[in-house]
Structure 1
Amino acid sequence: MSHTTSITRHIHASPERVWSVITDVEGSAQTLSGVQSVQMLSAGPYREGTRWKETRTMMGRSETVEMWVAQAEAPRSTTVKALQNGADYTTRFTLAESSGGTDLTMTFGAALTYPTRISRLMMMLFGRIGMAMTRKALARDLAEIAAKAESPQSA
């Protein structure tokens, strides 16, 4: 059992500029208001296998999750994964050049890794509520990524 949601925003910046913002893992705490801190676990440039721990505030709670890059095709798409509390989380960023800028689509999915009757029931009961809150967080992230990419100071 899984839940997925997707949201797109047009950003007035090139795909390369947007790519540089979304792949700046170390700087994400300065870009995204929901991210409190990032601890890099691997060195080098952003690529498949890059790992970090991200502490994020959501619903008034702070939680640290280990994340990694599962796929990266600059400047077109990247997929970030995390496993936490019996769930497999996937966030995919897709960039498409459009109208002199970039359409950035974020797709977030959550799937149970070892579903039990109780976890399936909880997902059915609270999955939609969780996804509605996730859509709000994704929209905020997209707005903050757009602000950074469109900022003349960060170009």
Structure 2
Amino acid sequence: MQLDLSRHVAADPDSVWAVLTDIPAAHETLSGVLAVEILTPGPYQPGFRWKETRKMFGMKAREEMMVQAAEPPHSTTIVAESGGTEYKTVFTVTPDADGSGSTLRMRFGAETAHAPAISRVVMALMGGVAEKSTRKTMEQDLADIAAEAERRAG
């Protein structure tokens, strides 16, 4: 599964970046996140890890996330692995040419190459439903990040 979404934000890249990388407050910013547990205290940088609890498909799901790359305030890559499925999310923040704000882009991919055969079969059968739900969640995340960045930029 591959998804690519973007959203205009009426805030500068630094404000968007500050919200995007404020992992301790993610459960307050992102309406889909129920809780966050920081595993590696310190700044947002490659190797920074946390557990994020979300409500997905009507159930609580808890995943360990890790920053794979960070180039403030322009891009970051976050990875996770669950049940043999590898997830990768790349966020990019691009300033508008006229200085009116930024474009926040989110590219998400899920790869089941190492998942058990049954998991790959289920993903193939349920792929459309999972993609629709994931897209809706990502769109809400982008809306939540934009709203908080705009509030902070004020």
Pick from 2, 18, 21 the counterpart of residue 20 of structure 1: 18
Q: What corresponds to 1:147 in structure 2? A: 147
* Alignment partner of 1:52 is 2:50: yes
Q: How does 1:51-130 map onto structure 2 within 5 Å?
A: 51-98=49-96, 99=98, 100-130=100-130
Structure 1 runs (4+) deviating above 6 angstroms are none
Return closer, same or farther for 1:117/1:21 CA change in 2, 3 Å cut-off.
Answer: same
Classify the secondary structure of the residue corresponding to 2:40: coil
SS at match of 1:26: helix
> Amino acid of the residue matched to residue 149 of structure 1?
A
Structure 2: gaps of 5 or more residues: none
CA positional deviation for 1:149: 0.4
Tell whether the 8 Å contact from 2:7 to 2:103 is kept in structure 1 after alignment.
Answer: yes
Q: What's the Cα RMSD here? A: 1.4
Say which SS state the counterpart of residue 103 (structure 2) adopts.
strand
More displaced stretch, 99-108 vs 12-21: 99-108
Q: How much identity, in percent, do the aligned residues show?
A: 43
**Counterpart residue type for residue 12 of structure 2:** S
Instruction: Find the residue that maps to 2:11 and give its secondary structure.
Output: coil
Greater mean deviation of Cα atoms: 7-16 or 55-64? 55-64
Whole-angstrom CA distance in 1 between matches of 2:72 and 2:107: 17
Q: 1:41 maps to which residue?
A: 39
Distance 2:115 2:63 in 1: 20
Show the 5 A alignment for 1:129-144. 129-144=129-144
Number of aligned residues: 152
1 CA distance for matches of 2:37 and 2:89?
Answer: 19
Structure 1 CA distance for aligned equivalents of residues 120 and 61 of structure 2: 23
